[in-house]
Amino acid sequence: QVMNLLNARKTNLLLEKTIAKMKVQTLELEQFAYIISHDLQSPLNNIFSAIKQCTEDYINTINDDQKRQLNNIYIAADKLRKLVDELINYSDIENVVLEKKSQVFVKKLFAELKDDFSSARNVTWSLKTDLNEIEVNKKALYSILSDLISNSIRYNSKEKIELELGI
């Protein structure tokens, strides 16, 4: 019986080590998913902007096969966007909740957002604020603003888009 007890303790220790290792690997995987999903957003936005630009600029000069190819690219990019959005939603939930509030420079945040959407055409950006810094959960705020800007550009039918951020 002593041997059985020792074997059970040994197995239990091994199990605890394995669980601890798996927790670390899960955390690393979640962080990887978060980083990759956000890194994919900017190039994907550039693809959509390029498709829109080609469609607007050359719609009367391209043939039906080229239009079909542009549409296929759009469909594939849209599928990729949905996958990236799902990955972001999965990774953001835990990362956003865990992040603590920090001092965020408003103009720097605005510049980062502008840079991420730099490929969007005919967009005029303006920042209305008297604040230099705010204390906020940056990941949460950035995620919300990025989604709002993305939707504003994606679903806007105006030739010129005016985006104003007021804090």
Q: What is the pLDDT of residues 115-165, one digit of tens each?
A: 888 777 788 899 999 999 999 888 878 878 888 888 888 888 888 888 888
Which of 64, 138, 84 has the alpha carbon at shortest distance from 108?
Answer: 138
Q: Under a CB-based contact definition with an 8 Å cutoff, are residues 119 and 50 in contact?
A: yes
pLDDT of amino acid 87: 78
User: Using only C-alpha atoms, what is the Rg of the chain?
Assistant: 23
* Tens-digit pLDDT profile for residues 96-105: 666 788 899 9
Which of 100, 122, 115 has the alpha carbon at shortest distance from 145?
Answer: 115
Give this prediction's pTM: 0.49
Q: What angle do CA 44, 47, 51 make, to 5 degrees?
A: 145
pLDDT band per the 50, 70, 90 thresholds, residue 89: confident
Q: Under a CB-based contact definition with an 8 Å cutoff, are residues 164 and 124 in contact?
A: no
Q: Which residues does residue 161 pair with via DSSP β-bridges, in sequence order?
A: 123
